[in-house]
Each structure stands twice: as structure tokens, then as C-alpha cells.
Amino acid sequence: MIKDLSLSGSPGYNYSVLFTTNGIDLNKKDNKVFMQSKKSKDLDFRLMMALRECEQGEQFTTTGQCLECPPGTGFSLAKMTSPGICQPCPSDKAICEGGNNIGPKPGFWRKSNKTGVFIECPNPSSCLGMKQPNMNPMGDCDVGYEGVLCTAC
């Protein structure tokens, strides 16, 4: 019996763990029959593991974990392939819902959902920000406005 086994590795890598034993008597008839049915001469068991890569919105920690950036404090728009930290939430301009879910506050606009740059609108009341129900990560424009910085009428 294996008890309290813990394995760790780095995200995005493949690992192989080999289990061997000398605790089984291969001279017993039932064990010989079993080994012949498996067409094997040893009892080794190889466990193959493929660890997923960290996703966009997750922090690759120094301990090899992928943890979602916490709501309200940070975000990540990059797929981390080595240890790093979430970017701090620019809470004066943006709403950070966790992970890569970030959008402008009212009065601000965002060019695309791939940038962490938020621009103050020349007419702040036309830029509604990321709001319910659709939570547009670039922000919504007020009725009658559209386009860059919600300036087109």
C-alpha cells in the first residue's frame, strides 16, 4: 500500500514515475501465470503525468502552482511559462474581477481586452465602463455614443 504520496512538478512539463517492488514472489504459480498473461518479466508500473500549462489569468508561482489572480487586487493578460506575479489592479481606472477578467470603470475606456491600458474619456458620462449584464471588457458606451473613447455620436 502506498500512503501519503505527494508529487510535484512544473506546469507544462511531462513526468514519469516508476513504481517497482520486490515484495511479490514470482515463483508462485498464480504470479507466474499473471506475468505471462501480461507478457512481462517485471512488475514495474510506470505512471505518466502531463501537467497543464498555466492559463491566461493565472499566476505561475515559485512552488510550481497555477493560481488565478485574485479579484480586486491583480490580473494577468499573459500566459506565464515561468514563475511570475499578477499585475496590480489599476483600481482607480479598472475593475478587476479575478484572473484575466478586467475592464474599465465608468469614465474610462479600453482599446482591447489584450491590454491593461485604460484611458480617461473626454466625455466621462459617455463611457459607462464594464457593467452588468454583459460585462464588456472594453466598456460600454452610453446610448447615442460609440467608437473610440465613446466619442462618436
Would strands 58-60 and 66-68 be described as parallel, antiparallel, or unpaired?
Answer: antiparallel
pLDDT of residue 111: 94
**Cell numbers 498555466 label which residue?**
54
Would you kindly state where each structural domain of the chain is located, as residue ranges?
A: 14-50
pTM for this predicted structure: 0.74
Could you tell me the three cell numbers for 22?
520486490
Return the biggest CA–CA distance within the chain: 88
Residues 91-103 have pLDDT tens digits of 999 999 999 999 9
Percent of the chain scored above 90 by pLDDT? 72
- Beta strands in the chain, from DSSP E residues, in sequence order: 14-19, 45-50, 58-60, 66-68, 74-75, 87-88, 94-96, 102-104, 108-109, 119-120, 127-129, 140-141
pLDDT band, very low/low/confident/very high, at 83 (cuts 50, 70, 90): very high
What is the rounded average pLDDT of the residues 33-49? Answer: 85
Phi, psi of 92, rounded to the nearest 5 degrees: -75, -20
